[in-house]
Structure 1
Amino acid sequence: MSDDRAERLRQNRNRAKQRAQSGEPSANDQSETSNPSQPSESSKQKTTKESESSGTREDSEENSTMKDDQIGTYMYLPKHQHQELSRQFHLLKAEYEYEYNEEFEKNPHFYPLAVKYGLDSLDSLDASEIQEKLDSLDS
C-alpha cells in the first residue's frame, strides 16, 4: 500500500513540475481565478494602489519587487544545516561573481537553485530511501 502512495506522490510531483515548466496554473490557482468577474478584495486594493502609484501597467511591472513576484517561505533548520547553507552560498557567490562579474544574490538566485536541484535529487527516491535520508539527518 505504501508503494501505491509513493507512486501517487511521485506522479503528483511530476505533474506539478510539468505545470510549473509550462506555465499552466495548478488546480488551486484555477479555483482562485475561476470567477474573474468578481475580483477578490486584495486584488481590488492592489489594482487601486497600482493605479494610484503609477499611471500605466508597464510602470507598475517595472517597479515590481521580488516580494511582489515571489512567495516568502520560512523554515527552521538545525544550526549546522544553516551554517552549511550559508557557507555554500558564500562559496558559490564568490565563484560566480568572480567568473561572470555579475551579482549573485541569495533570494533570487541561490535559494531557487538549492530548492530546484534539491527537489530533483529527491524525486526518484522511494519511501525506504526517504526513510534512510531522514535517518542520516539525525546522525
Structure 2
Amino acid sequence: MSDHRDDATNRIAARFDGEQTEKNEGKAKNKKNAKNGGNAQPAQSNGKADPSGNKKNDGKAKNVKKDWNARSVYLSDDLDRKVSTGYKRLDLELEMEFGETVKKTRHFYPLVFELGLERMDELEPQELKERIERMEL
C-alpha cells in the first residue's frame, strides 16, 4: 500500500513541476541517510554551479524545494488568510488574462518576499515602529 501512495505522490509531484511535498521529501532524505549509515551529505545551496553547470539558486531550478533554500514563516490567522486569498486571486487573474498559472512555491512566495523587501527598504524607522506596534495589538 505504501508503494501505491508513493507512486501517486510521484505522479502529483511530476504534474506540479516536480515539486514533492515536504513530508515525502523528508522521508526520502531519511531513507538516504539510513542507507549511508547515518552520514547525510548536506545539500549545496550556495548558488554555485552544480555538476551539470546549472546554478541552483538562479530561478531556473527544476525542483525548487530541492534546489532552493527553505525558510519557515509563522503567520497569524488573518495574515495567513490574506496570503491564501491573494494567491488565489492572482492565480485566477493570470489564468483569465493569459491562460497561465502562478506556481505557489516557484513564483508566488518569492514574489511576496521580493516585493515585501523592496517596500521594507523604503520604510523610515518611525513607520517601521508603528507597523510593529500595530501587529502586536
TM-score, normalisation: structure 1: 0.53
Which protein, 1 or 2, shows the higher relative CO under an 8 Å CA cutoff with sep ≥ 6? 1
Counterparts in 2 of 1:138 and 1:69: CA distance versus 1, 3 Å = same
Residue number in structure 2 paired with 1:126: 124
Structure 1 or 2, whichever has the larger Rg, is: 1
1:136 partnered with 2:122: no
C-alpha distance in structure 1 between counterparts of 2:90 and 2:69, whole Å: 23
Structure 2 counterpart of 1:100, which letter? F
Which segments of 5 or more consecutive residues in structure 1 lack a partner in the other structure? 1-40, 45-49, 51-55
TM-score, normalisation: structure 2: 0.54
Q: Which has the higher helix share?
A: 1
- Give how far 1:65 is off: 1.3
C-alpha distance in structure 2 between counterparts of 1:114 and 1:43, whole Å: 25
Aligned counterparts, 1:82-101, within 5 A = 82-101=80-99
- Give how far 1:75 is off: 1.0
Residue number in structure 1 paired with 2:109: 111
Contact 2:87 2:108 in 1 (8 A): yes
C-alpha distance in structure 2 between counterparts of 1:76 and 1:115, whole Å: 14
| 1:28-84 residue CA offsets vs partner (Å, 9 max, x unmatched) | xxxxxxxxxxxxx6479xxxxx9xxxxx837xx999411232111111111110011
1:57 partnered with 2:52: yes
Residue number in structure 2 paired with 1:14: none
